[in-house]
Amino acid sequence: MISDSTLVVRSPEPLTAAVDGEIVMLSPDRGAYFGLNAVGSSIWELIGEPRTVSSLCQALMDQYDVDRETCDAEVVGFLGQLERAGLVEVRG
């Protein structure tokens, strides 16, 4: 389960490119294509280095007008989707 203290980092597997300020990814292993909106792209950039969910939410709250509760819920859900797709590594 992903929590505030969970450490996350991007998986090295997907091929990525920036297109009109958003990130698009191709997972050759899964044969799947993914597109991230502006907030998803910000998260992707922020997890280029391992970081906790708590520090990720703090960075997003500094960048966007969002409260902590909403940020936590949305980020945990989004990271769960990325984890299931094999696009992030989740550590403890």
Residue 2: CA count within 13 A, CB half-sphere:
25
pLDDT, tens only, 12-32: 888 999 888 889 998 888 888
Residue 84: CA count within 13 A, CB half-sphere:
7
- Angle 31-91-63 from CA coordinates, rounded to 5°: 80
* DSSP per-residue codes, 28-49: TTTTEEEEE-HHHHHHHHHTTS
What is the pTM (predicted TM-score) of this model?
A: 0.89
Please report the pLDDT score of residue 22 as a whole number.
87
Please report the pLDDT score of residue 30 as a whole number.
81
Return the CATH number of the domain spanning residue range 7-86: 3.90.930
Higher pLDDT, 70 or 29: 70
Residue 51 has pLDDT above 90, yes or no: yes
